[in-house]
Amino acid sequence: MYLQTAAGAVALALGFWGRMIEKPPHDFRGMLDNVFRTVQLITLQFPADLNSSPNYQLQIARLAVPVVAVLATFQVLIASITRPARLALLPYTSGHIVVCGSAQITQSALKTLASRRQQVVVVGSDAGDRDVLEGFGLTILEGDPLQEATLRSVDLSRAARFPGAG
């Protein structure tokens, strides 16, 4: 995700640089026009004048911005495709971290757990950001963590043990 953000920022910076070279602003209004035209790269709107060749900064930005958008979409798509497989393999998983809770668990805390390169299973009844969390590599199990059947499906006996945990 950080890589996509950085790549998008670089692409937009190159686009802005290219716009500034192509049409140097003479006042604040010209600067705003270049900012607006740079943001249009996100919507894949390019100038209709095909007789002139844009500078290389603008050419790179015109290619990079759609690639970044495709990669972000691809990550969400892969997460939604792998979700059924992760849920089906959940009973056979061992050494995983099980987190039970609700919306009070912050995304940054879950991202930190996911960065440990260990499978993390989040059990909760509120999966509002499920696609985003699954994009980080987490497995989201919608259910009541107080129900025995839900806990059986995550197989706590095979989950990771931490020192001092019961």
Q: Which of 60, 75, 77 is nearest to 7 (CA)?
A: 60
Element (H, E) at 141: strand 139-142
The rounded distance, in Å, linking the Cα atoms of 20 and 34 is 7
| Spacing of C-alpha 162 from chain mean position | 29
Average pLDDT of each block of 10 consecutive residues along the chain (166 residues)?
75 85 89 84 62 71 77 74 76 78 67 76 71 75 80 79 57
pLDDT given at position 52: 63
Rg (CA), the chain: 23
User: What's the CATH fold of domain 93-158?
Assistant: Rossmann fold (3.40.50)
Q: What's the confidence (pLDDT) of residue 128? A: 60
pLDDT score for 134: 76
